[in-house]
């Protein structure tokens, strides 16, 4: 085993410890409310509300989820829930539209972040709320809405008697892609004009390459840690030459490892990448992430993430690992030579230019 791999493993170990400490600090300052019945709401009094569940049948325990949903609805004297299974070709959007057409009072996305995104994309602008049963790897939206992550019954309590609120959504559109020497798109290129909804974070660079390389089998076995293991392979990747324009302003050119645009900022493992981001403030938060100096730079960057997650800031000059923040309603990002892009952990392919904007209050969700 080469010394670089040993150093990479050490860096991952350091990251795990640092993130664990950040999670402990966050939990101490943000105590989780005790699990119990939610206050009565107008939805709780509507005993005839029709629950519809868009479920990814490939997720482990999907059959158990179906049975628990049926039981919870029966216990609450609700009509039998409707179920719509996703497929590879139809990951949730068509099923959500079918649920709305069938008269659903609430449409539940039961799956990973891809299922949640697909359902949300179909329900933007709807007056029917979307709810979430988090049974995926990252469960990004559920984390940012403070939904129960480990109990179907607790999550269904929110579905049945939670409160509705409007949240922002983000959109990312591929405006230009990289062409090969033959003038044709690369095999891993995104589709020009492809426009994808995201609820948490879109990004280009290190984070997107990490998402693209994460092993699906490993994700099922160890969850979100699979993304960190995939990231080890990209620690020595190139710094990007990025041109960024915020709200139509003059483009700024810089060198970065990754640039991420977030609707909200909480990630798995207790990581708070965008501490000032709010899911309903009508703006997006931009994080420009850079490191130099090899593993030392990555170590300092991890320290920055831990500190800002705990509400601390390091403004000392000369840092070789740093995160710079900005806010905008619309941003255009161009990467010299092209780079991978992702939305909520789903790869979009390689892009040369990406346009990202916020759609304020576009999605009605059922939350606690």
- In this predicted structure, the answer to whether residue 136 has a pLDDT above a threshold of 90 is no
Contact 84, 95 (CB under 8 A): yes
Average pLDDT estimate for 275-298? 83
**Model confidence pLDDT, tens digit, residues 319-346:** 667 788 999 999 999 999 999 999 998 9
pTM: 0.79
Q: What six digits make up the tokens of 271?
A: 């990581």
- In this predicted structure, the answer to whether residue 11 has a pLDDT above a threshold of 50 is no
Residue 197: closest CA among 167, 176, 170:
170
Q: pLDDT at position 306, please?
A: 63
Give 6's strand partners: none
d(CA 41, CA 47): 11
d(CA 214, CA 193): 25
Domain count of the chain? 2
- In this predicted structure, the answer to whether residue 276 has a pLDDT above a threshold of 50 is yes
**Model confidence pLDDT, tens digit, residues 92-106:** 999 999 999 999 999
Q: Mark whether 148 and 186 lie in a shared domain.
A: no
Which stretches of 266-353 are DSSP H helices? 295-309
Q: How confident is the model at residue 261 (pLDDT cuts 50, 70, 90)?
A: very high
- In this predicted structure, the answer to whether residue 46 has a pLDDT above a threshold of 80 is no
- In this predicted structure, the answer to whether residue 24 has a pLDDT above a threshold of 60 is no
Inside any domain, residue 339 = yes
Q: Mark whether 312 and 349 lie in a shared domain.
A: yes
Q: pLDDT at position 226, please?
A: 53
Q: What angle do CA 17, 20, 21 make, to 5 degrees?
A: 90
Average pLDDT estimate for 156-185? 94
Going 70 to 72 to 73 to 74, the CA torsion angle's sign is positive
Q: Between 295-309 and 3-29, two packed helices, what is the crossing angle to 10 degrees?
A: 10
Average pLDDT estimate for 336-363? 94
Inside any domain, residue 366 = no
Terminal alpha carbon distance of the chain: 49
Task: Calculate the dihedral angle through the C-alpha atoms of 86, 87, 93, 95, rounding to the nearest 10 degrees.
Answer: -50
Going 362 to 205 to 327 to 280, the CA torsion angle's sign is positive
Q: Mark whether 222 and 112 lie in a shared domain.
A: no
Domain boundary among 109, 130, 161: 161
Q: Mark whether 348 and 231 lie in a shared domain.
A: yes
Q: pLDDT at position 172, please?
A: 98
Q: Mark whether 179 and 225 lie in a shared domain.
A: yes
Contact 349, 189 (CB under 8 A): yes
Q: Mark whether 143 and 204 lie in a shared domain.
A: no
Query: Which residue spans within 6-144 are E strands per DSSP?
Result: 51-55, 82-85, 106-111, 130-134
Inside any domain, residue 214 = yes
Residue 156: closest CA among 128, 182, 134, 123:
134
- How many other C-beta atoms lie within 10 A of the C-beta of residue 358? 20
H-run or E-run covering 116: helix 113-123
d(CA 362, CA 329): 14
Q: Mark whether 145 and 284 lie in a shared domain.
A: no
Inside any domain, residue 37 = no
Which residue is listed with tokens 């449409």? 107
Q: Which domain holds residue 76?
A: 42-161
CATH number of domain containing 152: 3.40.50.10330
Q: Mark whether 192 and 64 lie in a shared domain.
A: no
Q: pLDDT at position 29, please?
A: 39
- In this predicted structure, the answer to whether residue 181 has a pLDDT above a threshold of 70 is yes
Average pLDDT over the chain, rounded to an integer:
81
Contact 162, 366 (CB under 8 A): yes
Q: Mark whether 131 and 275 lie in a shared domain.
A: no
């Amino acid at each position: 085993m080469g010394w670089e791999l040993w150093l990479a493993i050490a860096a991952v170990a350091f990251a795990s410890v640092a993130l664990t400490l950040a999670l402990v600090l966050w939990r101490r300052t943000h105590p989780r409310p005790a699990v119990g019945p939610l206050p009565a709401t107008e939805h709780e009094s509507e005993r005839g509300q029709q629950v519809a569940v868009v479920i990814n049948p490939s997720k482990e325990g999907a059959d158990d989820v179906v049975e628990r949903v049926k039981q919870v609805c029966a216990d609450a004297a609700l009509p039998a829930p409707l179920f719509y299974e996703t497929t590879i070709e139809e990951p949730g959007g068509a099923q959500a539209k079918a649920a709305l057409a069938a008269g659903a009072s609430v449409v539940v996305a039961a799956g990973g972040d891809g299922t949640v995104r697909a359902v949300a994309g179909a329900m933007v602008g709807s007056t029917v709320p979307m709810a979430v049963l988090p049974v995926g790897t990252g469960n990004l939206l559920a984390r940012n809405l403070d939904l129960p992550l480990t109990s179907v019954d607790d999550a269904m309590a929110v579905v049945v008697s939670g409160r509705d609120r409007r949240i922002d959504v983000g959109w990312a559109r591929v405006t230009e892609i990289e062409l090969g020497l033959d003038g044709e798109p690369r095999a891993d290129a995104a589709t020009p004009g492809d426009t994808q909804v995201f609820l948490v974070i879109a990004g280009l660079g290190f984070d997107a390459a990490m998402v693209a390389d994460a092993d699906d089998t490993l994700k099922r076995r160890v969850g979100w840690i699979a993304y960190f293991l995939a990231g080890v392979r990209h620690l020595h990747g190139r710094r990007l030459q990025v041109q960024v324009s915020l709200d139509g302003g003059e483009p700024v050119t810089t060198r970065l490892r990754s640039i991420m645009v977030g609707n909200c900022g909480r990630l798995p493992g207790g990581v708070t990448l965008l501490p000032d981001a709010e899911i309903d403030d009508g703006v997006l938060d931009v994080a420009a992430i850079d490191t130099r100096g090899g593993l030392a730079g990555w170590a300092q960057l991890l320290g920055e993430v831990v500190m800002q997650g705990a509400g601390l800031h390091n403004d000392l000059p000369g840092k070789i690992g740093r995160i710079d923040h900005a806010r905008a309603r619309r941003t255009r990002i161009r990467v010299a030579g092209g780079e991978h892009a992702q939305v909520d952990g789903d790869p979009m392919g390689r892009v040369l230019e990406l346009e990202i904007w916020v759609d304020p209050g576009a999605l009605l969700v059922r939350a606690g």
